[in-house]
Amino acid sequence: MAIFADNNSKVVVQGATGHQGVFHIGAMKEFGTKVVAGVTPGKGGQKVENVPIFDNVFDAVDERDANTSLILVPARFAKDAVFEALDAGCKTVVVITENIPFHDAMEFVHYSKYKNAVLIGPNCPGIASPGKTKIGILPGQIFKEGNIGVASRSGTLTYEIVNSLTEKGIGQSTCVGLGGDPIIGTTFIDSLNAFEKDKETKASVLVGEIGGTAEEEAAEHIKEYISKPVFAFIAGRTAPPGKRMGHAGAIIARGKGTAESKIKAFQKANVEVAKFPTDIADIIESSI
């Protein structure tokens, strides 16, 4: 099974002909992803890594049956690209682009709900279901097929954690990068619900960080609705208030969003919080 992305995902890459597009179309195909089309306005008819390029998403959906879009376009054009993907009928949209004005994100996140689509990101590394598909810019070599679900607000930190799981022989069902922005489409709660239903997933790992209250809300949700074990790591214990720590969403504002509050909330929900990111693998090994 896996969540949000699997063997049925047929991917159209928006922003396919740029440096990033070309590189990641190659890397995704190598992983086994069904990349069926690319879109770059004005470059229809070309090919990238043998993948046909179209001028718009509608044609890619009509002719190549694409159902999932990967957005790699620059921030200024991202809102337009997401709206186009949703209107063309894509049911999953993964937005990698960083620095999108949050007012734009607010609009397309709400529109995705109206369209009953899953929107992942923005400012995220994408999603990988090992053995099935990878939609995004995550490095393919760190994954191993298995039954731990991972949902994270960070990129490299997730790779680090996933890599340490794989090194211990602990495989993953799906790893989803939720994104480092204040407004994101898919949340910890959405991921937890999906992992709960997924037969392949036995336990999940949440990688949170300072800013907002998503972890606190997830902790409340776990108490009531999640029966599978959950483990967590929180970055930013030492971050000072008022500073944006790299991610637009990683900021302690008006006393809200501290690591301390998140760790406490998880502990109250019986979620073990690791001290070091690489400890997660040890904790899972000893408790499952």
Partner 1 sequence: MKLFEYRGKELFNEYGISVPNGRLVKDKNDFSGLNFPFVLKAQVPIGGRGKAGGIKSAENLKEAQEKFSKIMGMDIKGYKVRKVLAEEKVDIKKELYLSITLDRSKRMPLIMASVEGGMDIESVPDSKIFKEWINPLIGIQPFHIRSIITKLKLEKEDGKEVAKVISKIYKLFREYDCELVEINPLIIKKEGGVMALDSKVNINDDAMYRHQDIEPEVVELTPLEKDAKEKGIAFIQLEGNIGVIANGAGLTMATLDALTNYNGKGGVFLDLGGTDDPEKVKQAFELMKKAKPKVIFLNLFGGITRCDTVAKGVKDVITKEGIDCPVITRIKGCNEDQAKDILKDAGLITGTTLQDAAQKSSDLAR
Q: List interacting residues with partner 1 (CB under 8 A).
A: 27, 75-76, 99-103, 106-107, 109-111, 114, 137-139, 141-142, 152-160, 163, 180, 182-183, 207, 209-210, 212-214, 217, 233, 235-240, 243, 245-250, 254-255, 259, 275-278
Task: Name which of 44 and 140 has its Cβ closer to partner 1.
Answer: 140
- C-alpha closest to that of 260 among 249, 273, 247: 273
Full DSSP string of 77-128: HHHHHHHHHHHTT-SEEEE------HHHHHHHHHHHHHTT-EEE-SS--EEE
In this structure, what token pair is assigned to residue 193?
């619900």
- Asked whether 33 and 11 are in contact (CB, 8 A), the reply is yes
The residues near 86 (Cβ < 8 Å, ≥ 6 apart) are: 93, 108, 111, 112, 115, 117
Residue 182 Cβ, how far from partner 1 at the closest point, in Å? 5
Please give the single-letter amino acid code of residue 102. Answer: F
Q: Is 103 an active-site residue?
A: no
Residue 79 neighbours by CB distance under 10 Å: 22
- C-alpha closest to that of 119 among 153, 156, 82: 82
Task: Name which of 29 and 43 has its Cβ closer to partner 1.
Answer: 29
Task: Name which of 54 and 233 has its Cβ closer to partner 1.
Answer: 233
Torsion on CA atoms 53, 59, 65, 68, rounded to nearest 10: 70
Distance CA 281, CA 142 (A): 14
Adjacent-strand bridge partners of 253: 256
Could you say which of 19, 110, 221, 247 is catalytic? 247
Task: Name which of 59 and 98 has its Cβ closer to partner 1.
Answer: 98
Distance CA 259, CA 254 (A): 14
Full DSSP string of 13-62: EES-SSHHHHHHHHHHHHHT-EEEEEE-TT-TT-EETTEEEESSHHHHHH
Mind telling me the catalytic residues? 247
